[in-house]
């Protein structure tokens, strides 16, 4: 039989459970009335705001601090009192009330952003012009230039921009008649605080002068530019001479209209400049241009090299080979790979480095016909041993790599016809180094 609980005990249990479950709610209500976030000292709130900035800075720049400043007067005062620590910047982009914002907020650095993936209306162009009028406050410019926007912005970019740290200008031939040319006095001829520059489809004669004035550059990207005299290898290297902090250099030139555009240059002088911080080098263009650049530079810390040559049946790159022999990381390689595709052939050399360190040399030749690919591959594979690049068994490795490329692009019969004479001569030369 089950015993019944006396009524008195049941009543006490009910009261205790009510008190037990009600107590946390009472304490929470009391705490919510007595302790608020505004009771925290200003230095603690500043730390909280700084953590908010760091939390979103990885994927959002500049971070959206404006909603926090609208919570209360105290928060707004704390944030505007420490604009540098909190990295407060005004973002001027599509759909933002730029002119109203510039009038009502403090004189914070301005970030101008108008990229291609969004349509740019007339009102947006007027807002960009209004932001560029504050040249002494602009820290970043990222513009995709149409013809109408270029006509409005170019006159405003003639004055100095003393705080400019990042510059990205791009255009496309479909929306820009001819090239987007800027005068030689762009940015007053100097940008002393510039850290990153990217020009895509934008060219102007003052590029070397602008680069020479920006001694603290970390990254340079010149994409889709024509080969002109003011952007010659000599001018480019001269503009890089004082950049001790440069880490990334990317040069992407347009194909020359004819072989006549590739002038035969005299052998470069032995005077070289040092780029001690350069770790990333990308180049696309004709081999003569790259030869003129690498003959004049030293990059002891270089980790990654990506080179794409245009459709050239015969070319020599002795300066590149000497440059590689002067770079410690690329003297000895542990792996070599040859890949063939519909538009060219590439050779990748991977040096012996520490794990999880991206270090490689990739050389690609743009050519569509199989005989051109074989000729290009032959030229690349025959000069590598002359530079002391060590392979365990180059003769066997080259035979195997060549057979893989030929099998990928043609049948065995075609492979034999194309490679019969050349492969025997190549192997005879390779035998000297085994």
Alpha-carbon span 250 to 253, nearest angstrom: 10
Q: Does 287 have pLDDT greater than 50? A: yes
Q: Does 121 have pLDDT greater than 70? A: yes
Q: Identify which of 253, 247, 257 has the alpha carbon closest to the alpha carbon of residue 223.
A: 253
- Half-sphere exposure of residue 200, counting CA atoms within 13 Å on the CB side? 15
DSSP 8-class letter at 255: P
- What are residue 384's phi and psi, to 5 degrees? -60, -40
DSSP state string for 405-418? HHHHHS-HHHHHHH
Q: What is the pLDDT of residue 382?
A: 46
- What are residue 248's phi and psi, to 5 degrees? -130, 130
pLDDT tens string 191-225: 889 999 998 887 777 788 888 888 899 999 999 88
Measure the CA angle with vertex 85, ends 82 and 91; round to 5°. Answer: 90
Q: Any bridge partners for residue 197, and if so which?
A: 167, 220
Contact between 257 and 201 (Cβ < 8 Å): no
Burial classification of residue 307, based on how many CB atoms lie within 10 Å of its CB (0-12 exposed, 13-18 middle, 19 or more buried): buried
Interior/surface letters 355-379, b for 16+ CB within 10 angstroms, e for the rest: eeeebbbbbbbbbeebebbbbbbbb
Alpha-carbon span 106 to 88, nearest angstrom: 10
Q: Does 92 have pLDDT greater than 80? A: yes
Question: Which residue reads 């001694």 in tokens?
Answer: 215
pLDDT tens string 339-389: 666 666 777 777 666 555 567 778 777 765 555 545 555 555 444 434 433
Number of helices followed by number of strands (H, E) in the chain:
14, 16
């Amino acid at each position: 039989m089950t015993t019944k609980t006396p009524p008195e005990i049941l009543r006490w249990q009910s009261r205790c459970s009510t008190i037990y479950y009600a107590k946390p709610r009472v304490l929470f209500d009391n705490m919510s009335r007595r302790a608020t976030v505004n009771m925290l000292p200003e230095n603690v709130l500043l730390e909280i705001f700084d953590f908010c900035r760091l939390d979103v800075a990885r994927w959002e720049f500049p971070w959206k601090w404006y909603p926090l400043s609208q919570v209360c007067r105290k928060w707004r005062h704390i944030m505007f009192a420490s604009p540098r620590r909190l990295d407060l910047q005004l973002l001027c982009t599509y759909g933002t009330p730029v002119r109203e914002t510039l009038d009502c907020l403090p004189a914070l650095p301005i970030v101008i952003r108008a990229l291609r993936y969004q349509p740019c209306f007339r009102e947006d162009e007027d807002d960009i012009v209004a932001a560029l009028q504050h040249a002494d406050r602009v820290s970043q410019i990222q513009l995709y230039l149409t013809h109408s926007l270029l006509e409005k912005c170019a006159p405003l970019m003639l004055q100095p921009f003393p705080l400019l740290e990042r510059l990205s200008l791009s255009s496309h031939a479909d929306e820009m008649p001819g090239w987007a040319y800027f005068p030689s006095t762009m940015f007053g001829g100097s940008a002393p605080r510039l850290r990153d520059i990217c020009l895509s489809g934008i060219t102007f004669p003052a590029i070397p002068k602008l680069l020479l004035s920006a001694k603290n550059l970390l990254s340079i990207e010149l994409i889709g530019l024509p080969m002109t005299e003011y952007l010659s290898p000599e001018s480019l290297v001269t503009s890089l001479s004082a950049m001790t902090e440069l880490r990334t250099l990317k040069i992407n030139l347009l194909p020359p209209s004819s072989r006549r555009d590739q002038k035969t240059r005299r052998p470069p002088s032995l005077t070289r400049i040092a780029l001690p911080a350069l770790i990333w080098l990308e180049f696309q263009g004709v081999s003569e241009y790259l030869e003129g650049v690498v003959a004049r530079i030293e990059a002891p810390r270089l980790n990654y090299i990506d080179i794409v040559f245009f459709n050239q049946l015969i070319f020599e790159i002795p300066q590149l080979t000497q440059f590689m022999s002067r770079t410690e990381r690329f003297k000895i390689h542990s792996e070599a790979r040859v890949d063939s595709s519909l538009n060219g052939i590439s050779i990748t050399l991977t040096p012996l480095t520490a794990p999880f360190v991206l270090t490689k040399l990739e050389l690609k030749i743009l050519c569509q016909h199989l005989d051109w690919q074989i000729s290009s591959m032959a030229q690349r594979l025959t000069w590598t041993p002359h530079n002391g690049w060590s392979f365990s068994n180059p003769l066997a490795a080259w035979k195997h790599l060549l057979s893989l490329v030929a099998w990928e692009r043609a049948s065995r019969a075609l492979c034999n016809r194309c490679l019969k004479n050349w492969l025997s001569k190549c192997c005879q030369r390779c035998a000297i180094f085994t």
